[in-house]
Amino acid sequence: MSRKGLHKEIRKALDEAEATEGFKIVEASGHTWGWLHCSCGMKIAIYSTGTNPERGAQLIRQFIRRHQEHR
């Protein structure tokens, strides 16, 4: 997956998700760069453009923490 257009904090958060068992990253098109899926069926959008990419990375990390028990 090409993460070149993503902010470095978003890329770091996605790397953390990939390192954690039970999460899958699915690339999409358009304003939504992709989706982070948990094995429980929940998902969170990953945006390629945002006014506050640090907050986007924080939301991804919160999603990972909340769903770690679903591994």
Cβ-contact 57, 11 below 8 angstroms: no
For the whole model, what pTM was predicted? 0.87
Domain edges within the chain: 1-51
Is 34 in a helix, a strand, or coil? strand
* C-alpha span between 47 and 65 (Å, rounded): 19
Burial degree of 4 (CB within 10 A; 0-12, 13-18, 19+): exposed
pLDDT digits (tens, 9 = 90+) for 24-46: 999 987 778 899 999 999 999 99
Task: Give Cβ neighbours of residue 16 (< 8 Å, ≥ 6 apart).
Answer: 60, 61, 64
pLDDT for 8 beyond 70: yes
